[in-house]
Amino acid sequence: MKQSLKYIFLSLGLISLGVASYFGYTVWQVLNIGTAYQAKQFCSGVFVSGRTPESIFNQDVLAEINGLSSLERSIVKSIQVKIDRPQQSVTASMFGWIQHQAIFRDGLGCTLVIATTPAELRSLVKPVSLVRQKTDELWLQEPTEKKPPEINQKQIKVALDRVFQPQQHTRAVVIVYQGHIIAERYAPGFSAQMPLPGWSMTKSVFNALVGILVKQGKLSLADKNLMPQWNNKSDRRSEITLDAMLRMSSGLKFNEAESNPLGNLIQMLFGQANAADYAANQPLEAEPGTKWQYSSGTTNIISRVIRNAIGNDADYLTFPRRALFDPLGMKSAVIELDTSGTFVGSSFMYATARDWARFGLLYLQNGIWEGQRILSEGWVEYSRTLTKLAPKKNYGSHFWLMNVATASGQNQILTAQGFQDQYIAIIPSHQLVIVHLGKNETSTREQFVPQILAAFTN
């Protein structure tokens, strides 16, 4: 009996030690990710968006901790943030114990300093020339008295009033009809000149970058052996095609949970120096092309594939601007890098609401801008073609699909969507582009887009 009790107490001791270790590891991860997240968000908010630290803390940090446990909220509130404007850097720490730093580079936004030093990180790449947008002369605002008669302006106003209710946390809306802005509104503290994060709308921008390289013959949808670590016949990941990646059907295992500090998504974005390698090193959980799973890791692998296809890092860093942003007049647009120098294509792009609208307009115009073909022939149709493996039948190629019924019939809508209710709705049937940027816990898209469509009498 004594011997049995000895084993029981030993087992209980080991279990208690394991629980304590797991609890300690979880707390450390929350602290580690929390300081990295705040360093990155304050850096981008201050140096890219031009916001005040007070607005970021009050409108972003406090809003984001509502869903956390009381312990996690206490931890996040205890993180101290130091902004060094001369050095263009932000450091977040917990009583000096766990510390992370993010640095700003002009035209490249902010990057977390992971497994290197700020000086080494700054020496890796040169800043990219970025001409800040002061006016929007490329847009033709219609005078109020000449608004198109087929639009019910009262209904537009009602829809805007609803989406800008305080509990919605909407920050910007731009509505473009036939190439003209017909409605636009910003929350207090935000403006038409302020670049705002698109989060996963960035994925749709990488759809465009791939489409440009396909047009140039540097990439093909049938390409395989996409990453060096897969280039082995015995590795089934070598069979993953670029098409499967764009359609979220790679078969790679990836935990996309946005609130789990131990999950792949959060670890990749805020805990890894090389996001693409981290994602590429995940094992297969299904044969390539046989299972749909939304994965931010997929897009970061694509970003690395683009880098490899271009070959020269200097050309890679300027490629989005040369090939896409400059032709469209998206002068505010910035895609941020990870420590390894690869664009974080899954999540880290900033642009004004008007520039996000320009991007949507490119797809409304079938990949053509002012008579110039930007995307390869048929690319927009490819992007809107349903991925049959998607369980809800609502995904194309790095774009989401939705259908809205109106009095004039069904409307197929191509959408770029991002965390916290960022979206661009591209509606060919009404020659419309709707941009919504916010900090919402629940989506407004299913209500706001139909309300805008209902304001059209044609």
Domain boundary among the residues 124, 148, 183 is at 124
Structural domain that includes position 44: 2-124
Clarify whether residues 113 and 245 are in a common domain: no
Whole-number Å distance between alpha carbons of 15 and 226: 44
Q: pLDDT, tens digit, for every residue of 88-132? A: 999 999 877 789 999 999 999 999 999 999 999 999 877 776 555
Which residue type is seen at 244? Answer: A
Distances (CA, A) of 177 to 196, 361, 428: 22, 10, 10
Task: Assess whether 437 and 306 both reside in one domain.
Answer: yes
Instruction: Give the model's pLDDT for residue 368.
Output: 97
- Whether residue 185 sits in one domain with residue 119: no
Domain match, 103 and 205 both = no
Quick one: 119 and 197 in the same domain? no
Radius of gyration of the chain (CA): 23
For the four alpha carbons of 412, 390, 225 and 233, in that order, the dihedral sign comes to negative
Same domain, 294 and 403: yes
- The overall pTM is greater than 0.85: yes
Does some domain include residue 397?
yes
**CA–CA separation, 54 vs 59, rounded Å?**
8
Same domain, 270 and 394: yes
**Averaged over 74-84, what is the pLDDT?**
85
> Within this chain, do residues 199 and 288 fall inside the same structural domain, yes or no?
yes
For 256-286, how does the pLDDT look when each residue is reduced to its tens digit (9 = 90+)? 988 787 899 999 999 999 999 999 999 999 9
Mean pLDDT of the 208-224 span: 98
Please list, in sequence order, all residues whose beta carbon lies within 8 angstroms of the beta carbon of residue 77, skipping any fewer than 6 positions away.
65
Section 201-222 average pLDDT: 98
Would you tell me how many other CB atoms lie within 10 Å of the CB of residue 432? 23
Sequence letter at residue 389: L
Q: How far is CA 104 from the centre of its chain?
A: 18
Residue 410's Cβ-count burial label (10 Å; 0-12, 13-18, 19+) is exposed
**Count of beta carbons in the 10 Å neighbourhood of residue 308:** 16
Which DSSP string do the residues of 366-433 spell out, in sequence order? TTEETTEE-SPTTHHHHHHS--TT-TTS-B-SSSEEEEEEETTEEEEEEEEEETTTEEEEEEGGGTEE
How far is Cα 431 from Cα 452, in angstroms, rounded to an integer?
12
Examine residue 131 and state whether it is found in any structural domain, yes or no. Answer: no
> Which CATH number is 185's domain given?
3.40.710.10
Residues 371 and 272 in one domain: yes
Per the structure, how many domains does the chain have?
Answer: 2
398, part of any domain: yes
- pLDDT digit string, tens, across residues 391-426: 999 999 999 999 887 766 678 899 999 999 999 999
92 and 198 share one domain? no
Q: Is residue 143 part of a domain?
A: no
In this structure, is residue 129 part of a structural domain? no
Task: Tell me which of 147-156, 189-198, 245-254, 338-347 is least confident.
Answer: 147-156
Domain endpoint, select from 124, 156, 183: 124
245 and 183 share a domain?
yes
| Structure tokens that stand for 409 in this block | 């019939």
114 with 243, same domain: the answer is: no
- Is pLDDT larger for residue 24 or for residue 70? 70
pLDDT at residue 238, as a whole number: 97
